[in-house]
Amino acid sequence: MGRRVLIALAACAVAVAGGVTIRAQRSSATPGVAGPIDKAVLQRVVSAWASMDAARAAPFYARDSGLVFYDVAPRKYTGWTEYAKGTTEMFKGLKSLTMTVADDAQVHAASNLAWAAATVDGEMVAKDGTRTKIDARWSTVWEKRQSGWVIVHDHFSMPLPDAAPKPSRD
């Protein structure tokens, strides 16, 4: 059953990215990734974010204004400009950030589209010293353009904490 869900999600991602392709051709060029997308490329993306400088992550992302990116908070960003601004604000409260793509990373490609899914482990340290473990899920949709592969959709989320067991009614 899990495989069916993964196939359905991949099909949705391809359908969404396919709708973006027409707009993407009219967009300004972005640097992109020259070679195939693999775990090493995914690690480069999360390492760029871990620098807490959105400009370091920027070369991996398409700049189309209508693209949607999901992060832990807020619920969504529309376009790279909004995503960069929102994450930069969030980083102001952090002292450090580490992130590592886990060994479960998968990348699938079809023509000029690729989609990737992985879990990401790490830690955020707030300016006050509070540490938060990162136990995240990350999926991306990539499109191959003239300048190389760029992310046209990004979804980063963390599962809700496990609920405390309910007391028994004996």
Lowest mean pLDDT among 34-38, 120-124, 129-133, 139-143: 34-38
Query: What confidence category does residue 2 fall into, taking pLDDT thresholds of 50, 70 and 90?
Result: very low
Whole-Å CA distances, 56 to 1, 8, 51: 38, 32, 7
Helices and strands, counts by H and E, the chain: 4, 7
Give the H or E element holding residue 63: none
Burial class (CB in 10 A: 0-12, 13-18, 19+), 165: exposed
Residue 14: pLDDT band (50, 70, 90) is: very low
Q: Give 94's Cβ-side CA count (13 Å radius).
A: 18
Say yes or no to pLDDT of 116 above 60. yes
Confidence of residue 163 (pLDDT cuts 50, 70, 90): low
Q: What are phi and psi of 112, to 5 degrees?
A: -95, 15
> Residue 68 has what pLDDT?
93
pLDDT tens per residue, range 45-65: 999 999 999 999 999 999 999
pLDDT (0 to 100) of residue 35: 79
Domain chopping of the chain, boundaries: 2-157
pLDDT the model gives residue 72? 75
Q: Does domain 2-157 have CATH number 3.10.450.50?
A: yes
- Residues 65-109 have pLDDT tens digits of 999 999 877 879 999 999 999 999 999 999 999 999 999 999 999
Question: pLDDT tens digits for 128-154?
Answer: 999 999 999 999 999 999 989 999 999
Whether this model's pTM surpasses 0.85: no
pLDDT at 96: 97
pLDDT recorded at residue 160: 80
Rounded to whole angstroms, how far apart are CA atoms 11 and 123?
32
